[in-house]
Chain A
Amino acid sequence: MKVNELMHVAVKAGEILIKSGAEIYRVEETLRRICSSYGVECEPYVLLSGIFLHAQEENGNPITVIKRIQGNLLHLHRIELVNSFSRDLQRTPLEYAAAIKRLEEIEAVSGFSLPVRLSMAGLTAFVYTLLFSGNALEGAVALILSIFAYYLRVKIAELGFFQFFEYFVAGVIAGAGALAGMKIFPEVNIYKIIIGAIMIFVPGVAITNGIKDALYGDVVSSLYRIAEAVFTATAIGAGVGIALSVGLRFV
Chain B
Amino acid sequence: MKELILAFLGSMCPAILFSVEKRKMLWVGLGGSLGWGAFSLVEAATGQVILSTFAGAVMVGLYSEIMARALKTPATVFSISGIFPLVPGIGAYETAQLLVENKLSPATGKALETVASAGAIALGIMLMSALFKVAKRLAKRRKTA
A interface residues (Cβ-Cβ under 8 A, vs B): 21-23, 26, 74-80, 83-84, 110-112, 116-117, 120-121, 123-124, 127-128, 130-132, 195, 198-200, 202-205, 207-212, 215-216, 229-230, 232-234, 236-238, 240-241
Contact = CB atoms under 8 A, between A and B. Distances in A.
A127 B19 contact: no
23 contacts: A22-B76, A74-B18, A76-B76, A110-B19, A111-B16, A111-B17, A120-B14, A123-B9, A124-B9, A124-B13, A131-B6, A131-B10, A209-B80, A212-B122, A215-B123, A232-B92, A233-B89, A233-B96, A237-B93, A237-B100, A238-B96, A240-B93, A241-B100
B64 to A, nearest CB: 12
A126 to B, nearest CB: 9
A226 B105 CA distance: 21
Given A74-B19, A78-B19, A204-B118, A236 B88 contact: no
Contacts of A83: 73-74
Contact of B125 (A132, A195, A212): A212
Contact of A198 (B20, B83, B93, B123): B93
A195 B6 contact: no
Q: Is the interface of A mostly helix, strand, loop or mixed?
A: helix
A124 B17 contact: yes
A120 B17 contact: yes
Contacts of B14: 120, 124, 200
Interface string B109-126: 000001100110111011
Interface of B: 3, 6-7, 9-10, 13-21, 72-74, 76-77, 80-81, 83-85, 87-93, 95-97, 99-101, 114-115, 118-119, 121-123, 125-126
9 cross-chain pairs, A with B, having the tightest CB-CB distances, nearest first: A204-B89, A237-B96, A202-B89, A204-B87, A111-B19, A233-B92, A241-B100, A74-B18, A211-B122
Contacts of B10: 124, 127-128, 131
A82 B136 CA distance: 23
A22 B80 CA distance: 10
A203 B99 contact: no
Nearest to B21: A77
Contacts of A111: 16-17, 19
Given A128-B10, A238-B96, A121 B17 contact: yes
Nearest to A242: B100
Contacts of B84: 204-205
A26 to B, nearest CB: 7
A76 B77 contact: yes
